[in-house]
Amino acid sequence: MANNKIKKLTPVQQEYRQLALKRQPARPVALNCLRAFVVGGLICTLGQGIQEAFMRFADMTQKEAAAPTVAVLIAISVVLTAAGVYDKLGQWAGAGTAVPVTGFANAMSSAAIEHRSEGLVLGTGANMFKLAGSVIVFGTVAAFIIGLLRFIFGYGG
């Protein structure tokens, strides 16, 4: 809570806030970091395995196998979200499921599933970009800035 909001609290509210902070259970930060690292690493390892399979069995190059690998990871994430598995994994693993592309797919598909009863356009279409829209906007802006910097400084080629 911002300091200016704390100043506006009454003495009783400040006392309650202090009491609540004392009784709040400690967060297992190290365990949460370990879970996020392991699950995020397993998701990335799965992606690497899928890419290796495309390269070996479909005779693709590493560059050619990249797009179908991402598509398969997204499909797996959407199916697990629809089955209610991905959200439980996300609650247990935390940021480990949010960072890879599967987390983005989960965010979009869970919002679409939640609002499907409101219709395709105003329900699914409008609500699935509420969370993911900021990711798309900031990703696009960051890509533009990086591309502009590369153009200005002549890096890459």
Residues 13, 17, 20, 21: what is their CA dihedral angle, to the nearest 10 degrees?
-170
pLDDT band at 141 (very low <50, low <70, confident <90, very high): very high
* pLDDT recorded at residue 66: 95
Domain ranges of the chain: 29-153
Which is it for the CA torsion 62, 64, 70, 76, positive or negative? negative
Provide φ and ψ at 74, rounded to 5°. -65, -45
Residue type, 96: G
13-72 pLDDT tens trace? 888 988 988 888 888 999 999 999 999 999 999 999 999 999 999 999 999 999 999 999
The pTM (predicted TM-score) of the whole model is 0.71
The vertex-47 CA angle with 41 and 49, nearest 5°, equals 105
CA distance 35 to 91: 11
Runs of H (alpha helix) within 83-125: 85-93, 101-114
Among 140, 142, 136, 112, CA closest to 124: 112
Find where tokens 């190059």 sit: 61
Over residues 70-80, the mean pLDDT reads 95
